[in-house]
Chains A and B, each alone.
Chain A
Amino acid sequence: MANPVTKLRNTAEEFKIKSPKDKKRFIVDSILNNALYILMLIFVIYTAIMKPNFLSLGSLANLITQVAAYLPMALGIGGCIVLTGTDLSAGRVMGLTAAVSAVFMQKLDIPNRMFAAMPEPSVPWLLVTLLVVLAIGALIGLVNGFFVAKFSLHPFIVTLSTQLITYGIILWFFNLNDNNGTPFGGLSDVYMDSVGGTMFRLDNIGVPVYVLYAVILTALMWFIWNKTTFGKNMFAVGSNAEAAKVSGVNVFWTTVLVHTLAGACYGYAGFIEGVRSGSVQAGTGMNAECDAIAACVIGGVSFVGGTGKISGIILGVVILRLIFVALTMLGVGSSSLYIIKGAIILCACALDMRKYLVKK
């Protein structure tokens, strides 16, 4: 790892000896390769000038909180994209696990308690709940991975199917015990405080405990991606499945496990979402995978396969939330929000692919 200053100096030296044409090309390339970051910087400065509060500590706390909430799903889906796939079931899996978390952790004394037999919410029971939702997420991921790996089906079609199936299960679940689709509310304090409790406040905005969890999860995922056999195999399969097979990588299990791990991430995301939305309804989690996929792509996890970094995913989530927060503060309305988001994703993908095109 060369130190950045030396690196910069070297680049400057190289730049000096280039011909004028090459110099121009170098500058254009540098601008295009970093266009997204340059645009974001301009955007941040603009917002800061229009709305000074955008750069307050409270705003930072708000941004961090949102990033922590959106990160788990993106981390899970990132693996699927590294395998040149995708996962459309993520949002619904999050919805289902959020609903299960809520039902497991409902207060004892509310009138419309879903399952009377559930024990009183406590910390051990909370851990059981977490394990259960992780298992549910992992199970759906396992099904995804199995069909993708065993039958070489495109993940798009497999996960589209499981997305529908999962939504069906969600609707069925919400209609159990004469619930008639009423949202699951009355979440116990144990659940709310252990996950969403305020760690500390910046200005008047609280930073919840799940920010800490997100840090832990990110570290864990970074370890898995970079420091384990499974992680190395994942990149190998994503880069060239045939070569991986010949090289002795178990392509089947790698694919299954990537999806299973992703499922567990969605399970965890649901566990957090239950607290965040305060009460879970059948529509919870709908289309959440779009944001997650977008974050990965913006962060350089390419659909070409075999590339992507955890830091990139974090960056992608940060950029998306930054746009959301800034546009909310600017009060531009949802039409502009969607247009800008779409443009950014398109732009990010085009710039990403450009890097591969140039090399040929």
Chain B
Amino acid sequence: MQQDILLKMVDISKTFPGVKALDGVHLDVQKGTVHALMGENGAGKSTLMKCLFGIYSKDEGHIYLEGREVNFKSSKEALENGVAMVHQELNQALKRNVMDNIWLGRYPTIAGIAVDEKKMYRDTMAVFKELEINVDPHRLMSTMPVSQRQMVEIAKAVSYNSKVIVFDEPTSSLTEEEVEHLFKIINMLRDRGVGIIYISHKMAEIKRISDYITIMRDGKWIATERADDLEMKDIIRLMVGRELTNQFPPKTNKPGEVYLKVEGITGMYNQLKDVSFEARRGEVLGLAGLDSSGRTETLESIFGVRTRKEGKIYLDGKEVRNRNAQESIKNGFALLTEERRATGIFAILNIRDNTVISSLKRHKKFGIYLSEKSQREDTQRYIDAMHTKTPSQETKIRALSGGNQQKVIIGRWLLTEPEVLLLDEPTRGIDVGAKYEIYQLILDLANNGKTVLMVSSEMPELLGVCDRILVMSGGRVAGEVDAKNTTQEEIMTLAAKYV
């Protein structure tokens, strides 16, 4: 048995400031098997893979490839040693053609100077034939659908003679037919003795394709079993089975009359389809679902930063148009975005500027002049109210921790005096203590009669903070559950409804 183990990861630990992301995880991948790696978002699957590929350096533990200890410094080095990864987000040179992408960084050359296009073409065709891929090597990547680009990625892995191939959520954007083709290829690779690590949320797929399943939770290894020995409900239990301690403040808010009504929102450039729901004053409505199930798109469509094809939004019975952020803010909406760095903070500006940017009109004197004094007062009020830890208002926001940055941005939105708060992953990347404060803040807002919509990938958080939870799947509303009387299993089942 032992000699069949291709890749062995032992006692892998990794700590980020404030978070123990991996805690003594181990994983054995045998020759000619598909090994599924499962866990909730944030369970540590990607971190583990990043440690394997040298994107993160592990703090502790050992990695053995065919019995020899390895310590890759980069994914390129891993690739050269026969460990490849087919990413969820394909990192490809879209403006180059298929074979350029496959042989990138190791072009065959004539006399060490000119690129040997003919050899490149022949070699590409050989790999394609083996994998039964029907793609013209001269085709430009950007002209191809995601499924085919993924095939190219797989072909690249095979062309390196990889012994271990990691698939990260490979089917998330494939049609059923394409999934069949993918499985055929995976089976073929397995038969050739390749060890495959398969990361996915989709139970049915996992059951079908994998030989072994390893389940992770909270950065820890939970179980490794033969796939045949596990029922779907066992998997879910193992994945979410954490006891809910006192992570959440007591819920005291009382939902009132219906305030926000969303009717049939369908996206112009995204997968949203006929999303309808209601939210009450003083209510915290959760939005659950897998990644790319349309939760973020829903919030952004309501806020007007994504184009709606159809759909209406009513506030207190009156229709509001919310065509862009300015209009939405005027109508009393606020949006805390998911990507804090990309669309939240102004890294280079100080805390005061970051706080007042959405509510400048409050400080206007004589129609043009902005009062420094009132800006200072507003900023100080929210630094105090939210217990933001900062040396001064003039400190650049990038110097703060994630939690404190988030508090500043929430302060920014509270200054616009919103009635409806759209919070997209409000606690992402924030340490536990700060999370509690943000939960408290959300409940306080609800207590004051505000309507809060909250997207989160952490299910316990939704169960602990929300009144109702809307479960989204494949751009549609898959169902609605009462937070008090639901289980994570019920939500997971709904989340998989349309995928």
Contacts and interface: CB of A to CB of B under 8 A. Distances in A.
Interface of A: 223, 227-229, 231-233, 235-236, 239-240, 242-250, 304-307, 359
B92 interface: no
Contacts, number: 77
A227 B370 contact: yes
Given A242-B342, A245-B325, 9 more contacts: A228-B369, A235-B349, A236-B357, A239-B347, A242-B343, A244-B357, A247-B357, A248-B328, A249-B326
B181 interface: no
B370 A246 contact: no
Interface string B400-417: 000000000000100010
Interface string B328-350: 11000001010000111111110
A227 B369 contact: yes
23 contacts: A228-B368, A229-B364, A232-B353, A232-B356, A232-B360, A235-B353, A236-B346, A236-B349, A240-B343, A240-B346, A242-B342, A243-B343, A244-B357, A246-B343, A247-B357, A247-B358, A247-B412, A248-B325, A248-B328, A248-B329, A250-B326, A305-B348, A359-B398
Nearest to A231: B370
A236 B372 CA distance: 17
Contact of A229 (B349, B370, B372): B370
Given A228-B368, A236-B353, A244 B360 contact: no
Contacts of A239: 346-349
Contacts of A242: 342-343
Contact of A244 (B346, B348, B356, B361): B346
A261 B412 CA distance: 28
Nearest to A247: B358
A235 B346 contact: yes
A243 B360 contact: no
B125 interface: no
B305 interface: yes
Interface in B352-381: 353, 356-358, 360-361, 364, 368-370, 372
Contact of B344 (A231, A243, A359): A243
A329 to B, nearest CB: 39
Contacts of A223: 369
A236 B412 CA distance: 13
B307 to A, nearest CB: 13
Contacts of B337: 243, 246
A240 B341 CA distance: 9
A247 B372 CA distance: 20
In this complex, the interface size class of chain B, counting residues with CB under 8 Å from chain A, is 20 to 34
A265 B176 CA distance: 60
Contacts of A305: 348
A242 B360 CA distance: 18
A236 B347 CA distance: 10
A249 B357 CA distance: 8
Given A232-B370, A243-B342, A248 B326 contact: yes
Contacts of A248: 325-326, 328-329, 358, 416
A2 to B, nearest CB: 10
B345 A240 contact: yes
Contacts of A236: 346, 349, 353, 357
A229 B353 CA distance: 11
A342 to B, nearest CB: 27
B325 A247 contact: yes
A219 to B, nearest CB: 13
Contacts of B326: 248-250
A228 B347 CA distance: 21
A250 B324 CA distance: 9
A22 to B, nearest CB: 18
A254 B356 CA distance: 17
A243 B398 contact: no
A228 B368 CA distance: 6
B298 to A, nearest CB: 15
Interface in B316-330: 325-326, 328-329
The interface centre, meaning the residue of B303, B369, B370 with most chain A CB atoms within 10 A of its CB, is B370
Nearest to B345: A243
Contacts of A359: 398
A308 B85 CA distance: 43
Nearest to B333: A248
Nearest to A224: B368
Contact of B335 (A229, A232, A246): A246
Contacts of A244: 346, 357
A229 B346 contact: no
A246 B360 contact: no
Nearest to B346: A239
Nearest to A239: B346
Interface in B286-314: 303, 305
A245 B343 CA distance: 8
A229 B345 CA distance: 18
A334 to B, nearest CB: 37
A305 B356 CA distance: 19
A213 B303 CA distance: 45
Nearest to B361: A229
Nearest to B360: A229
Contacts of A306: 346, 348-349
A244 B346 CA distance: 8
Nearest to A250: B326
Instruction: In the A-B complex, list the 5 residue pairs whose CB atoms are closest, starting with the nearest.
Output: A239-B346, A248-B329, A306-B348, A229-B360, A248-B325
Contact of A228 (B303, B346, B370, B372): B370
Nearest to B363: A229
A358 B364 CA distance: 37
Contacts of B369: 223, 227-228
A247 B348 CA distance: 16
A177 B349 CA distance: 53
A246 B325 contact: yes
The interface centre, meaning the residue of B360, B368, B372 with most chain A CB atoms within 10 A of its CB, is B360
A121 B148 CA distance: 72
B369 to A, nearest CB: 5
A236 B398 CA distance: 14
Contacts of A229: 360-361, 364, 370
A233 B303 CA distance: 20
A129 B357 CA distance: 38
A174 to B, nearest CB: 40
Contacts of A231: 370
A240 B342 CA distance: 8
A307 B346 CA distance: 11
Nearest to B397: A239
Given A227-B370, A246-B337, A232 B357 contact: yes
Contacts of B305: 245-246
A359 B400 CA distance: 12
Interface in B228-284: none
A8 B370 CA distance: 31
A23 B345 CA distance: 33
Contacts of B346: 235-236, 239-240, 243-244, 306
A239 B335 CA distance: 19
Contacts of A240: 342-343, 345-347
Contacts of A246: 303, 305, 325, 335, 337, 343-344
A78 to B, nearest CB: 15
A225 to B, nearest CB: 11
Contacts of A304: 348
A223 to B, nearest CB: 8
Contacts of B348: 239, 304-307
Contacts of A250: 326
Nearest to A240: B346
A232 B368 CA distance: 12
A155 to B, nearest CB: 19
